[in-house]
Amino acid sequence: MHSAISEEERKGIQSEIESMFSSLSDEQKDEVRKSFIKGMNEKIEEGEKLMERVDVYVEIKNISNYVSFNQIANEYFGKSRSWLHQRIRGYHVNGKPARFTATERKKLAGALEDISIKIHKASLKIV
């Protein structure tokens, strides 16, 4: 129905779906409902994973001119800069989008906090 161009077309599609659904047995209706719920739950999970990735990217993007991702990757993760960027941007690696694990997200947050403390201490010494 989301591809319908007009309200009339949407109502026609809805009517067709309702007609098809009403012709099903109770068991078939239950199967359709279960399948629909399963599909929607999968889409919600995909959306949550995407939002997780987007959240990290948006927050990191705001500070990207001020911190060295190469240094963060090496010092805090023991990995390469490209490894870190793959996860920040969700690039596909071996056919799947690269993601931070929950532990890696905490480690990244800790790294940024550690850097902020170092910056704050340096600012105090300047004044």
Question: Residue 107 falls within a domain, yes or no?
Answer: yes
- Indicate whether 1 pLDDT > 70: no
CA distance 58 to 55: 5
Question: Residue 18 falls within a domain, yes or no?
Answer: no
Residues 33-90 have pLDDT tens digits of: 899 899 999 888 888 777 776 677 778 888 888 999 999 999 999 999 999 999 988 8
- Indicate whether 2 pLDDT > 70: no
CA distance 77 to 122: 24
Q: Which phi and psi angles does 80 have, rounded to 5°?
A: -85, 165
Question: Residue 52 falls within a domain, yes or no?
Answer: yes
For residues 42 and 86, the answer to whether their CB atoms sit within 8 Å is no
Instruction: Retrieve residue 43's tokens.
Output: 């889409």
Domains contained in the chain, number:
1
CA distance 32 to 10: 21
Q: What is the pLDDT of residue 118?
A: 95
**pLDDT, mean of residues 115-120:** 95
Q: Which domain holds residue 114?
A: 25-126
Question: Residue 61 falls within a domain, yes or no?
Answer: yes
Question: Residue 14 falls within a domain, yes or no?
Answer: no
- Indicate whether 116 pLDDT > 90: yes
| pTM to 2 decimal places | 0.60
**pLDDT, mean of residues 102-110:** 93
Question: Residue 57 falls within a domain, yes or no?
Answer: yes
Question: Residue 47 falls within a domain, yes or no?
Answer: yes
- Indicate whether 18 pLDDT > 70: yes
Question: Residue 88 falls within a domain, yes or no?
Answer: yes
Instruction: Retrieve residue 87's tokens.
Output: 């996860």
